[in-house]
Structure 1
Amino acid sequence: MRRRMTCYLLVLLATATTGYPSRRSAVDLDATPRMTIAYNELSDVRRFRGRALNYTTLLLEDEKGILYVGARGAIFSLNSSNIADGSQREIRWEASLEKQIDCLQKGKNNKTECFNHVRLVQRLNDTHLYACGTYAFHPLCAAIDADRFALPPHLEEGKEKCPYDPARGYTGLIIDGGLYTATRYEFRSLPDIRRNLHQRPLKTEESPMHWLNDAEFVASVLVRESVRSPVGDDDKIYYFFMERAAEESASFDKSQVARVARVARVCKSDLGGKKILQRKWTSFMKARLVCYIPYYEVLKAVHSVDGGSWASTVFYATFTLSAQWRSMEASAVCQYSISELQRAFEGPYMQYQDTTRKWTLYDGEVPSPRPGSCITNRSRQDGYRSSQDLPNDVLEFVKLHPLMFEEVKPARGEPLLVKKNVLYTALAVDRAPALDGQQYDVLFMGTGDGWLHKGVVVGPAVHIVEELQVFGAPQPVESLVISKGQRSVYVGAASGVLQLPLSSCSRYGSCYDCILARDPYCAWDGEGCREVAGAADRTQLTQDVQHGREGCRNGSAQAPPVQKNRTVLRGDDVLLPCEQRSNLARAAWLVNGTVGLAAGRGHFRVGVDGLLVTDTLPEHSGDYGCYGEENGLRSPLAAYALTVLLEPPKERAAPTAPPPPSPDRQASPDMKFVYIAVIAMLGGLCLVLSAALLHVSCLQRRKGRYVLGDPRAPSVELQTVSANCLGGGREEDELSREDGCLQIIPGEAPTAASPARETPLAPPPPPPPLPAEFTNGIAALPSMLRKMNGNSYMLLQQQEEPSPSPLYNTSFAEELSKILEKRKHTQLVDKLDESSV
């Protein structure tokens, strides 16, 4: 551990001295989600789950209103406006029994691997889709008629288009009829980037050195750089992946093999070489992708957005710490511009040194036209109309120099976001216009335990608007897709697919709350927080994404809370609850509207859930107001009127008893007869009960001497209850098992002395509910315990209405036993609105 921490410090030192300065500390970058929405608090969520598993491959056709989902053994076509409306279509595509047996013979797992995992679903042309699956380690592909939505009678071999292993990194795109994929294809083969289908097949070079070193692919992106290009450039496909590094100083810990993030590119019109690099890429180049901590980053997800032209394209990428840092868990989000990628690919090359087996800077002569570049207008003027016309020295140079020296650095040289104790596994980005005329990128980031973080990029950082628990059972979010038409985000995971709205503006109940959210989709209209996209008149809307504090008038900010009464005796303690909905807010308490209370001051303990006043004195009486302070705004949350009494109020005089009857008012003869009859009946009942008790006592004396009925075994053997004992049998057989198993069955057990069951005694009545006056502001048992700031008290989540018996819980007595001991002798205060004695 000491050695690992030493390496970590060296990494940070190198970061400060080798071009990765961070102007902000990691603590400043560690963003906290403003709101936390638990699973049971989600709204407007639609879920789909069929008879399959692993819903991880998503293809959205927004203009057609269809969401295609590739799962294990099935492909689904869902209505993108409501994936749960029951109108889905399904293609069952299970691996045959023969292929499953063959998969098992290869030593593969029959619970995870020997199935058909659909890894690719893409639009092939106007009428057909193209899908590929692992098919129990025998990949197959199919052209599917989109209207019929059924598998064709003949399937295609998929070993050069789809991976064998369903856990292997894979990415694929169909571009202008060509299938561009990257993965490990053949069984136990090397990683490769390939082009198939209706264009000239190409792949990466394997000798004399591997262009890809144990690569795991993450994503691929098409950038149409030919559109309005001043130099007549070609479209490019960018591949993002992880691989083992061989650069000098690639790892500070020499005992560890460094894996680094890479970005590679190829030209769409590449045809390969004529004699050298035949059927191989002539435009393959790769560069290092860095984010925050050099040499210890794991690339997890990539998404690109543009502002209407390819020159404005930016890439967002999520990183996590590598497995070498098992004691730490953190994620980072970095942004890269297309110009930064171009700068790296137009810079100097690296060369491989056989003596050191490392890549170092190449400082020799570079042939012309520039190796690895696409065919441009200048190349055509020089007679190079395609890659097959390139000179041999250019192709030889490409073959030996695929790695660039310059690294691709993030915007501003640092990450947008660093989040501790979170692993981001999926990413999707939407560019949304705001009322201030700017475009804001909204990031949806899925985590490894089933949460979804929604953040907005504001300047050099990310403000996390909210975190949502989208799955009840923890599981990684595998894929995310955004629909602008449906204003939804689709979440794919092992257990199913979810459809969530891009925003839930109604969740913000006040103007302050709506403004502080800084959500580009939401604005305040004077009465409520509304969707900006659905507003007819935007001139009446208020929004402040940039700063999150301006626009609300004092009168419309928030209605004052209803004041509650609390009354205690001198020396007692009282709890005044105040729950903050925002994780970024700080509780501020005012007494009589002016005096502020500081945490740990005298008798006051200010916590995240309320105010605890201990050993109250008469001068503590007054009006207490709780406010939430966030980003310079203060909003009222709770108000209390506290009264501290010097002594208990006097008891009421007992009502006078009615005067005894006068002597002249004697009972009539008829009433005397009734009295005598009642006394006689009671005497008879006493005799009957005495006889019954005598009979029962006699039976008790005879117990153990002999037993009436069938003979029993002289001894009883208790055996351990096992799974066989708990097997599902008929209910009537549960009481008469002959396997010797000891079972505890609810109900009345029959006695050996009597064949008839005795009438069970009625359960004792529940204790009477305590009045609200005894709750001291704690009207219900705690559902959450949270530490007070700067002291050892525990505040409790409370409800306004008292429960039937709020103090009959042992955990509550354990938590506040000292406080309760003080109140055992107190008396009720008469006619108070909400007393706390």
Structure 2
Amino acid sequence: MRRSAEMQGARTSAVPLLLLSCCVCAAAGYPFRTPLDLDVTPRITVLSSGLQGCRRFQSSAVNYSTMLLEADSERLYVGARGAAYALNASDISASSALSIEWEASPDQKRQCLLKGKDNKTECFNHIRFLQRFNSTHFYMCGTHAFRPLCAYIEEERFVMSSQPEEGRDKCPYGPTTGYTALIIDQQMYTATQYEFRSFPDIRRNSPSPTLKTEDAPTRWLNEADFVGSALVRDSLGSSTGDDDKIYFFFTEKSQEQTTTYSHSRVARVARVCKGDRGGRLTLQKRWTSFLKARLTCSLHEYDFHFNMLRSVFLMPGRTPQDTLFYGIFGLEWKNVKASAVCRFSLSDIQEAFQGPYMENQDSGSKWKEYTGKIPEPRPGTCITDALRARGINVSTSLPDDVLDFVRRHPLMSQQVQPSDRRPLLFRRTTDYTHMAVQMIQGLDGQKYHVLYMGTDEGWLHKAVEVEGQLHIIEELQIFEEPQPVNNLLISAKQMSVYVGSPSGVVQLPLSNCRRYASCYDCIFARDPHCAWNGAQCVDVMTHVDRSALIQDIQHGRKGCENTQEDIVVRSRAVRVGDDVLLQCELSSNLATPLWTQDGSELQGYGLNSGFRTGTDGLLIIEARQDQSGLYTCYAVENSIKVAIITYNITIRMDLPPPPPVEPTEDFYTLPTPTEHPSSERPLPPPPAPVLPHSELLSTRNMEAMYLSLITILGGLCVVLTVVLVYVGFCLRVGHRGKYSLRAAAAAYPNSKRHNKNRKQHRNSSQMELKTISSHCNGNGVCNGVSKQRNGGIQDGGFLQIVPGEAYPSPNKEPPPPAPPLPPTPQLPSPECDFPNGLSATLPSVLRRMNGNSYVLLRQSDSENTSSSCYSFAEELNRILEKRKHTQLLPRPDESSV
């Protein structure tokens, strides 16, 4: 036993060492070192029950993933599984919604099942594309149970204007395949994996000539997963006669060879020219302007590399060169949740496309930077005025050597770095899925970008970009049941953000300034939509005269110096020795509490200070008279102290104790703080009955009492074990009939209660002690605690200890039920004491101890006691001798000892 105890102690002491070593290893390795300056905490957390101005749309359909906002018509068009909807953009929950039911036929669903697809998710018509085609019609495409179809939609009546047409070159087969598409001047540009076993491709489908990417001898796309696309009209105001360009964003398998680090997948940006017509002989019906480059979103100082691109948003500028792209990136490991937000400028992307190329002379090796001669005109460029002057008016006029170079060199060597050379935001435990960005001008004249980011668990984060870093203003729980955000759209006209999800569509206001009740709360938020007008926090967009409004987005701490804040004052009278909790709720996650007593800051909260502080308030432990005074709670945020609440605490010795409350159960609570209502306002009664204060029930005395009880109980258990082993041995030798303690509990009248309590404590691995009282009436109900006499417990309070059987292992069948037992003999009276001063009776509540035996500590019923006295061993032997002849079990349950 000593050796096992030493081994157990060694294992126990090794646990902290193991944890420490794991922490050291994690701190030194990727990806667990955290850049604290970028791991931003949302300032305000709003649960779904606290959302204001929230409108929802739900129907029998699911998977609302495609959305199109028409600001002029004030309609929001939504594509779901098997249906499309036209909603009122000002209130999507209005009953004026129009719908088109478009589900796959039963025959098509059967063919989908024959292909081995899932009949719960894939064998349906998921709407993947819905955009405007011209001034009167929309164009819509769906997977149609792995046979894509497309159709024209009449805008006015919102009905199909023609029969569906083949869509396998325009829409993916599956509902989760990466996909992006645009209609530009009635030409459709798509990027996805179209057919079931085809390679990913970027195509222009209609009208002719149709173009696509090259597969041989050099494959331009390598297992690409597309997330977005955007049109940049470079031709507007261009001095060189440049062409418009379409940019595609995706993640693909890596092709580069580098000595710094390697990843299996990387983020990419590719571009094609809108006026591309392919080559005459070389690259016929292929893009002649296709180029791609790598997007990097990394924290090099922490060795963090985010390679998986999840979402992208184009933010137009005053000129095409001022265009910005915001992207959400994730880690390559699926079991690690983390997200980063990076911002890229169009000028940096164009610079990468003007840099050196990569080449792959041998298809089996990695790509390296090309150092040879580059033909003229530069491969991959659009048709410009300079080329037109040389007689090259379309791409079909380009020389073959240029087109052959394009075929073999689609990848650029230079990587596109973020605008600030690092992410704007990093979140460890969050997976962002989609985002939308709005630009708004603050009261300081600067323009700020406000980002709305949806998560995979149904939350919406609102953040503002300030000097290259994001400040998360708030996080909103949109759905009670976790589900990913499938799409995000912003309407400045409706002042709303629309969120698509698997279960429905949600409309939320862009801001809710009334949520901030004070001036400092409004300023600390740093929300460009909100400002303080002297009385309340208001929306800036609704005010024409903004001269009297206060706002500080840059720092979030200026403007409220001369405002008067109302402070709640409460008075309480407390008895000496009680514990008192002074509550102080902070609405901001970025604020820290600061407590003062009579104007002086409380210094330290050690074990002997008498105070404990936490997020819920200040706890005064065993209050003393010198702790009376004014306690004020401050919220410290952005280096500014703001008073929240003040308590006037009076600690007195002459306060009467509360009247005794008769308990309703056998369990007693430890002493709770007693707070007397002040003269200003009544306080509710204490929530639970309390024990009168006494020196005996102090913390130190209670610990000594518990240790003594545990020691005594251990000795009794040893005696009981020896007796049971001896009796079991005698029964094995002398009698063929055996006994089982399982029937002991069944013999008692309130056995159901025993079994219930035994089930409640089945998972307990320790012995429990309860407060015991000798004040019991004739019905066995205790009215109070035991009286103290000379520092001890009055005679009559006792412990009851009995053995019980362990639960059988799962692989053994339970024994047959025992026959009814004869009436239970009279139990020994409480006056029969053991040498240690404790009395014993048989149990009525069982506790599991050490996995295979049970003990009970509770008060006996006086009506079941008698005056006859027996020793513990005699009483136990007498009862077992009487019961052992009535059991029919062939073999005793050894685990019950």
Deviation at 1:4, TM superposition (A): 15
Specify the alignment match of 2:874 in structure 1: none
Q: In structure 1, what residue type is equivalent to 2:221?
A: L
- Structure 1: distance between partners of 2:26 and 2:387: 48
Cα distance in 1, alignment partners of residues 273 and 76 from structure 2: 30
- Give runs of aligned pairs for residues 178-217 of structure 1, distance below 5 A: 178-217=187-226
Q: 1:552 aligns with which of 546, 549, 560?
A: 560
Q: For residues 809 and 279 of structure 1, what CA distance do their matches in structure 2 show?
A: 86
Mapped contact 2:151–2:162 kept (Cα < 8 A): no
Structure 1 residue aligned with 2:589:
583
Which residue is 1:508 aligned to?
516
Q: Which structure is richer in relative contact order (CA contacts within 8 A, separation 6 or more)?
A: 1
Matched, 1:437 2:445: yes
SS in 2 for 1:53: coil
Q: Which residue of 2 is the match for residue 674 of structure 1? A: none
Q: Tell me if the contact between 1:164 and 1:185 (Cα under 8 Å) persists in the aligned partners.
A: yes
Bigger mean CA offset, 444-453 vs 567-576: 567-576
Structure 2 distance, partners of 1:487, 1:801, is 45
Q: Alignment partner for residue 485 of structure 1, among 493, 499, 506? A: 493
Match of 1:234 among 228, 243, 261: 243
- Structure 1 moving runs of 4+ over 6 Å: 1-13, 764-767, 816-825
Distance 1:233 1:524, change over 3 A: same
Q: Write the distance in 1 (CA, Å) between the matches of 2:470 and 2:23.
A: 30
Distance in 2 of aligned mates of 1:96 and 1:495: 23
Correspondence for 1:28: 37
Pair 1:579–1:818, CA change in 2 (3 A): farther
Correspondence list, 1:197-276, <5 A = 197-249=206-258, 252=261, 258-276=264-282
Offset at 1:566?
A: 2.2
SS in 2 for 1:205: coil
Q: Give the superposition deviation at 1:141.
A: 0.3
Task: Note closer, same or farther for the CA distance 1:336–1:640 as it changes in structure 2 (3 Å cut).
Answer: same
Establish whether residue 532 from structure 1 lines up as the match of residue 536 from structure 2.
no
- The verdict on how the C-alpha distance between 1:777 and 1:217 changes in structure 2, with shifts beyond 3 A counting, is farther
In the alignment, the residues of structure 2 paired with residue 4 and residue 576 of structure 1 have an alpha-carbon distance, to the nearest angstrom, of 36
Asked if the contact 1:11/1:252 (under 8 Å) is kept, the reply is no
Find the counterpart in structure 1 of residue 110 from structure 2: 101
Offset at residue 249 of structure 1 (A)? 2.9
What's 1:680 paired with? none
Q: Is the 8 A contact 1:427 1:445 kept in 2?
A: yes
Q: Where does residue 360 of structure 1 map in the other structure? A: 368
Deviations 1:770-813 (A, max 9, x none): 9xx9754699xxxxxxxxxxxxxxxxxxxx98667612699xxx
- Say whether 1:78 aligns with 2:91: no
The answer for unaligned runs of 5 or more in structure 1 is: 14-23, 653-763, 780-799, 811-815, 826-837
User: Secondary structure at the residue paired with 2:563?
Assistant: helix
Paired residue for 1:63? 72
Is the contact made by 2:43 and 2:590 (CA closer than 8 Å) also made in structure 1?
A: yes
Whichever residue aligns with residue 481 of structure 1, its letter is L
Conserved? CA contact 2:306–2:329, under 8 Å: no
1:633: which partner in 2?
Answer: 640
| Cα deviation, residue 820, structure 1 | 14
Deviation at residue 646 of structure 1 after TM alignment? 3.2
* Residue 7 of structure 1, CA deviation: 12
Partners of 1:250 and 1:295 within 8 A in 2:
no
State the partner residue of 2:283.
Answer: 277
Counterpart in the other structure of 1:789: none
Counterpart of 1:72 in 2: which secondary structure?
coil
8 Å CA contact 1:588, 1:597 repeated in 2: no
Equivalent in the alignment of 1:162:
171
Cα pair distance change 1:571/1:298, threshold 3 Å: same
Aligned to 1:609: 616
- Equivalent residue, structure 1, for 2:687: 806
Tell me which amino acid in the other structure corresponds to 1:315.
F
**Deviation readout 1:119-162 (Å, 9 max, x if unpaired):** 00000000000000000000000011111211234111000000
What is the root-mean-square deviation of aligned Cα atoms in Å?
3.1
**Residues of 1 paired with 2:63 and 2:682: CA distance?**
45
**Equivalent residue for 1:118, pick from 108, 116, 127:** 127
Partner of 1:701: none
- Given the superposition, is the C-alpha separation of residues 249 and 819 from structure 1 closer, same or farther in structure 2, using an over 3 Å criterion? farther
Residue of structure 1 in register with 2:325 after alignment: 315
TM-score by length of 1: 0.76
Residue 152 of structure 2 corresponds to 143
Q: CA deviation at 1:571?
A: 2.4
Would the alpha carbon gap of residues 11 and 355 (structure 1) be closer, same or farther in structure 2, given more than 3 Å must change?
A: farther
* CA shift in 2, pair 1:475/1:649, >3 Å: closer
Residue number in structure 1 paired with 2:572: 566
Q: CA deviation at 1:10?
A: 7.9
**Corresponding residue SS for 1:76:** strand
Identify if the C-alpha distance between structure 1 residues 584 and 248 changes in structure 2 by more than 3 Å, giving closer, same or farther.
same
**Alpha-carbon distance in structure 1 between the residues aligned to 2:266 and 2:409:** 18
Question: What's 1:706 paired with?
Answer: none
Residue 745 (structure 2) aligns with: none
Matched residue type, 1:636: A
- Deviation of the 1:818 alpha carbon: 6.2
Residues 628 and 634, structure 1, Cα contact 8 Å, conserved in 2 = yes
Does the CA-based 8 Å contact 2:574-2:675 persist in structure 1?
no
Partner secondary structure for residue 572 of structure 2: strand
Residue 270 of structure 2 aligns with an amino acid whose one-letter code is A
Counterpart CA distance in 2 for 1:146 and 1:175 is 18
CA change 1:33–1:818 in 2 (3 A) is farther
Q: Percent identity?
A: 49
Give the length in aligned residue pairs: 668
Deviation at 1:382, TM superposition (A): 1.4
Name 1:669's counterpart in structure 2: none
* 2:113–2:123 contact (8 Å) kept in structure 1: yes
Q: Given that residues 519 and 563 in structure 2 are in contact (C-alpha distance below 8 angstroms), is that contact kept between their aligned partners in structure 1?
A: no
Residue of structure 2 aligned with 1:455, choices 463, 471, 484: 463
**Matching residue within 346, 353, 361 for 1:345:** 353
TM-score by length of 2: 0.71
Look up the SS of the partner of 1:554 in the other structure. coil
AA at the equivalent of 1:421 = T
Give SS of 2:80's match.
strand
